[in-house]
Structure 1
């Protein structure tokens, strides 16, 4: 198990074990084996015919933390009309030997094999794109990109080299491993620019206090398509606990400034991660879609107002958000948020923007 996911696993166990009302639903080693807890909230599917491309999910084969193809397909087949997905890198199944800079290609090979299996299952959602990992500062970056392309069976679309950094690691469930100031590093900016030259995308994950650095990066690489994941992760734990209103106001200004960069589009999801501080994971009952709408809608509507539907795509961020909410309830919430927009806008946010950005 990689360091990032070992920390994630231990953190989940500590959080769940500390909440007596939730502990009985999280017995054993697999923190994603929470069906009993999630199934306490059942809802009819909203707008069941709506076609969905889920542009952000993970897969990994870790004995104590599995989220494999079968579990993904169980989620995507749970009622909503999910037809395609995009895999997002998560340090899974790296090669165990060979040059360090090429080891992430093992993940692409692993996901390409999963996509091939999914393609053989009638009616299953298809993994239509793969976002892998590379150190964008590496002198042999092109060799890594070529290796990803060779391993992906035509599905490779881009790179996520996450920039998430914070100096209060003890407060975070998911420990970031990005260095401070990554987006300002000239070598990193050159690597992101190279992705654009090769018609590949760059996905980012960082925290709200890094949004201004991300805008600087976007301005430096105008020919590269950048994807802002998870709203720029407005934190709500550690030193940010109890400061939601203050953070929201600054976040709104920062997002509006980022949206002025035409090369940036936004993924709308990931707010159910425990580090956002909404507290869903530790409750006796998971949230309903109406609760999620009441709590999160202001973030979604601001992003859509700033970027426009043609630069926004709804995402599940599963299984990480599965710690807080079921796939069915999450997509119900997204559909309720989107209900106030016209049909074309909904088509864009649920499927067409993702297809355009990731060339699906």
Structure 2
């Protein structure tokens, strides 16, 4: 699928001095799909003041041998190596992979504890938690956009999953929750079950609208809004406000041949973005580019301009929380 990530660089940068911790990025080198340190730095130095970023797992660099439950260690080692390179300043001022979220098969229960200990030892200054992707949908429409593998259904309901979360809780680590909107009620139940574990909702719990009619989308939005508000009532849950460039939402920007500008993005994204920020509040929201997946809809420059358009009415204190403060606090970063 064609990437738009380099488009829109001629846009005037809004609020160029506003410090941003990009709370969710991926790096990988796959056939015909490469996004590595040089690619991210080209985006991060495009005009917005990106001071640091958080690496989130893709399982691309998992080990290919050894005990299966320990194989995700390879990706943490990879991400930490990239972070060490970026920390030298030779590639630019951004602290890339300043925090690292690895993968663990939490369905294995207490067995993941050994992996978590190894990851904490491998990247003691940066390893902050785990993501175990649990996206699922009752029909196949959104799966056509899955770039790697189709996650199995019922991940959050596997018998070992709560025991896996308990291992995170014991170590003061966080859980990045990647779910689509039909699974939000199950996530709410888990947040209640583990009130001392920090849950970080990825991509605002994506309201899937692929190939759906306006009436279907309206129904989905209402359901998603109600679940987001209910989830926000749990004080141990924070929200990554972003991911809106992925095609799962059904906005259709990925099919556009012309350059998508920030004003267009902001207009379409506004109801979803404002719902999430209103529900959680700026102190429990952190901004994310989710690059390169969100590069299917627009370039990195207009993406951040769009978010700055959406937060024009926010106070300086609220912007500081949204763009850097919440991420730094939740992921325990020194910026």
Alpha-carbon distance between aligned partners in 2 of 1:262 and 1:197, rounded to the nearest angstrom: 18
Q: Which residue in 2 is equivalent to 1:135?
A: 105
1:61 pairs with 2:32? no
Q: Name the CA distance, whole Å, in 1 between partners of 2:274 and 2:175.
A: 24
CA contact (8 A) 2:141 2:210 kept: no
Unaligned runs of 5+ in 2: none
Do 1:290 and 1:333's aligned partners in 2 also have CA atoms closer than 8 Å?
Answer: yes
Q: Which residue of 2 aligns with 1:20?
A: none
Question: Mapping of 1:1-360 within 5 angstroms?
Answer: 12=1, 31-32=2-3, 35=6, 38-39=7-8, 42-122=10-90, 123-126=92-95, 127-138=97-108, 139-169=110-140, 171-172=142-143, 173-174=145-146, 177-238=150-211, 240-242=212-214, 243-360=216-333
| TM-score of the superposed pair, with normalisation by structure 1 | 0.87
Structure 1: unaligned runs, 5 residues or longer: 1-11, 13-30
Work out whether residues 84 and 125 of structure 1, in 8 Å CA contact, stay in contact via their aligned partners in 2: yes
Residue 102 of structure 1: how far off its partner (Å): 1.1
Kept after mapping to 2: 8 A contact 1:131/1:160? yes
SS in 2 for 1:84: strand
> Structure 1: how far apart are the matches of 2:258 and 2:171?
47
SS in 2 for 1:66: strand
Asked if structure 2 preserves the Cα contact closer than 8 Å seen for 1:56 and 1:317, the reply is: yes
Q: Once the 2 structures are TM-superposed, how far is the Cα of residue 58 of structure 1 from its aligned partner?
A: 0.2
Deviations 1:230-253 (A, max 9, x none): 111111115x45422111111111
Rounded Cα–Cα distance in structure 2 between residues aligned with 1:357 and 1:153: 16
Tell me the secondary structure at the aligned position of residue 339 of structure 1: coil
Q: What is the root-mean-square deviation in Å for CA atoms of aligned residues?
A: 1.7
Evaluate the alpha carbon distance shift between residue 207 and residue 241 of structure 1 in structure 2; reply closer, same or farther with a 3 A threshold: farther
Distance 1:33 1:290 in 2: 16
d(CA) in 2 for partners of 1:154, 1:185: 31
Q: What SS class does the counterpart of residue 35 from structure 2 fall into?
A: coil
Is the deviation greater in 94-103 or in 309-318?
A: 94-103
3-state SS of 2:286 partner: strand
What is the rounded CA distance, in whole Å, between the counterparts of 1:217 and 1:33 in structure 2?
Answer: 37
Q: Describe the shift of the 1:78–1:218 C-alpha distance in structure 2 as closer, same or farther (beyond 3 A).
A: same
For 1:249 and 1:200, locate their aligned partners in 2 and report how far apart those are by CA, in whole Å. 32
Shift in Å at residue 79 of structure 1? 0.4
**Counterpart contact for 1:286–1:324, Cα < 8 Å:** no
Shift of 1:192: 1.3
Residues 216/179 of structure 1: CA separation in 2 closer, same or farther (3 Å cut): farther
Q: Give the deviation of 1:336 after TM superposition.
A: 1.1
Does structure 1 conserve the Cα–Cα contact (< 8 Å) formed by 2:3 and 2:297?
no
Tell me the alpha carbon deviations over residues 63-86 of structure 1, each in whole angstroms, 9 at most, x when there is no partner.
Answer: 321100100111111100000110
Describe the shift of the 1:150–1:32 C-alpha distance in structure 2 as closer, same or farther (beyond 3 A): farther
Q: CA deviation at 1:51?
A: 0.3
Deviation at 1:325, TM superposition (A): 0.8
CA distance in 1, matches of 2:5, 2:15: 26
